[in-house]
A and B are shown apart, each in its own frame.
Chain A
C-alpha cells in the first residue's frame, strides 16, 4: 500500500492541479481577451493608472503630480475644504440653469426658424454665422455685462449650448416628409394636432441629438467661464489649489468635475437612445 509513498493531500498532486491550471494559462487569457474587447479596455485603463501611479511615485516631483491612489484616498479632504461642497453646488446649478435655458431658447428659435421657409432662408445664415464665431474671444465681455457671479457663467454656457440645439432642431423639422404634413392637413388637423402628432415625433431624435451637443457646449462654456474668473464656483478652488501647489486636491476636484460631466452627458445620451427608439425599425 505504501509502495507509492504517502497519499498526497487533494489539490497538491500533479493531476488536479493540472486540471485547474488552464484558467491561468496565457493561451486561455489571450482567448478571453480576444473574445471580450471590453475586458482588454479595462486592462488598458488599469495599465494607464499604474503608469500614472509609478510616474507620480518615482519620477515626477510631488509638488506637480500625486499618485491616483493618494488622490482617491484624499477625496474626502477635498470635500472637507471649506467652501468646496458649496462651490460644486453652485457650478452644478449654473450647468442646470444654462442647459435648461439653452433647451428652451433653442427649441423655440429652432421651431420658429425651421417651420417657415422664409424665416429659414432669412435667419439661418445669421444663426450659422453666430454659431461659427469663436465665443471664447468675448468671454471678458460676458464678465463685463453679467458680473463675476453665476449670471455670467450661465450666460456664457447658454451662448455655447443654444446654437447646436437650434441647428439640430431646424434640421429635424426640415427633414419631415412634406407628404406627411400635407396628409395630416388634408385630413383636417389643427395647428396643435399637426405639431403634436407629426412634427413633434419626427423632431424628437434630432432634438435629443442636439441636446447632447448642447450639453457638451454648456459644460464647456460654464467651465471656461468658471476657470476665467470665479468668486464662489469651482474655478476659485482650482485656482487656489494650483497656486498652493496642491496637486492631490486639484486632481481630486478635477476628477469630481469630470465625473459630473460624464454623468450629465450619459443622462442626455440615454435619453437620446430612449426617444430615438421608435425609428429603430
Chain B
C-alpha cells in the first residue's frame, strides 16, 4: 500500500471517529432538547456542562475525592507491601512456587467482590470495608506478578553472577531486581487500577462518603444532570490516575 493511500485511509478513519463523537453528542442534544426524552433519564448536555462547571468551581467534590483517594492510598500501600513481600518469599524456592502459585491464581479467579457483604459486616459502612476490599482485590495481581517476576529469572544470569562471586545483596540488587522489575511494575499498575475500581464500586454499593457514594446519592435524589457531571468527573479522575500509572510503569521499565 502506498504511503499516500495509507494517509488517506488514516484520515478517513480519524474522520469516522470524529464523526462518531460528534454524532453522539448531536443525538444527545437533539434527543433531550427537541425529541422529548425525559430529562430524568437523560439530562441535556448543556445542563450537564453547567453542573460540571458548578461542581468544579464550588469545590464541593473535595471531601468526597479526599475520602476516595485516602482509601485508595491505604489499600494500595497495604496490598503493595504485603504482595511484594509475600511474592518475593514464595519465589525463593521453585517448590514454594509450585505450592502457592496455583492456590493464589485459583482464589484470584473467584469474583472477590462477593466478600463485600462480609467486609461490611466486619468493618462497617465506613472507609474500613472499602480499604479491605481494595486491598484484597489488588493483592492478587501484585503477588502473582511478583512471583512471576522473581521466580522466572533466567538461570544463566543467576549462575553467572554466583560464579563471579556475587553476594546475596549484590545478587538481589544487580540480577534479580532488574530482571523482575518490569513484571512487578505491571502487577502494581493492574493492582492500582482494580483497587480504584473496586473502591468506587464498593462505595456505590454501601458507604457513607466518597465519590461512588456521591453518584448514588444524586441518582437517588433524581438529580440526573449533576450525577452526569459527577460521572464525567470520576471518569476523568480514573483516566488521569490510569495514565499516570501507565506512564510511571513505562518510565521505570525503560531504565
Stretch at the interface among A19-27, A80-88, A100-108, A130-138: A130-138
A selection of 11 A-B contacts at a CB cut-off of 8 Å is A121-B9, A121-B10, A136-B200, A137-B212, A137-B231, A141-B231, A223-B114, A227-B117, A242-B121, A258-B110, A265-B110
Where the two chains meet, the residues of A that have a C-beta atom closer than 8 Å to any C-beta of B are: 34, 37, 40-41, 44-45, 64-65, 117-118, 121-123, 125-126, 132-134, 136-141, 143-145, 216, 219-220, 223-224, 227-228, 238-239, 241-242, 245, 247, 250-251, 254, 257-258, 261-262, 265
B118 to chain A, nearest CB (A): 6
How many residue pairs, one in A and one in B, have C-beta atoms under 8 Å apart? 125
Is B115 touching A254 in the complex (CB atoms < 8 A)?
A: yes
Q: How far is the CA of A250 from the CA of B98 in the complex (A)?
A: 32
Q: Find A44's partner among B12, B103, B212, B238 (CB 8 Å cutoff).
A: B103
**Which of B13, B118, B120, B205 is in CB contact (< 8 Å) with A224?**
B205
Partner among B121, B197, B205 whose Cβ is within 8 Å of the Cβ of A64: B121
Contact B17 A250 (CB under 8 A): no
A45 and B103 in contact (CB under 8 A), knowing A223-B113, A241-B117?
yes
CB atoms of B204 and A44 under 8 A apart:
no
Cross-chain contact B99 with A138 (CB below 8 angstroms): no
Smallest Cβ-Cβ distance to A245: which chain B residue: B121
Given A121-B10, A143-B219, 10 more A-B residue pairs with CB atoms under 8 Å apart are A37-B98, A44-B99, A44-B100, A145-B41, A224-B205, A227-B113, A238-B117, A254-B117, A254-B118, A258-B110
Question: Are B205's CB and A227's CB within 8 A?
Answer: yes
B residues near A44, Cβ cutoff 8 Å: 99-100, 103
Residues of A within 8 A of B120 (CB): 242
- Complex CA distance for A136 and B213, rounded to whole angstroms: 12
- Assuming the A-B contacts A136-B204, A137-B238, A238-B117, are A37 and B219 also in contact, with contact meaning beta carbons closer than 8 angstroms in the complex? no
> Which residue of chain B has its CB nearest to the CB of A143?
B219
Chain A residues, Cβ within 8 Å of B224: 144
Q: How far is the CA of A241 from the CA of B120 in the complex (A)?
A: 11
Residues of chain B with a CB closer than 8 A to A242's CB: 117-118, 120-121
Looking at the complex, which one of B13, B99, B227 makes contact with A40 (CB distance below 8 Å)?
B99
User: Is B234 a contact of A134 with CB atoms below 8 Å?
Assistant: yes
Q: How near does chain A come to B75, taking the closest CB pair, in angstroms? A: 15
- B239–A132 contact, CB under 8 A? yes
Query: Does B242 belong to the interface (CB within 8 Å)?
Result: yes
B131 at the interface (CB under 8 A from A): no
- CB of A239 within 8 A of CB of B117, answer yes
Q: Does B16 contact A (CB under 8 A)?
A: yes
B111 within 8 A of A: yes
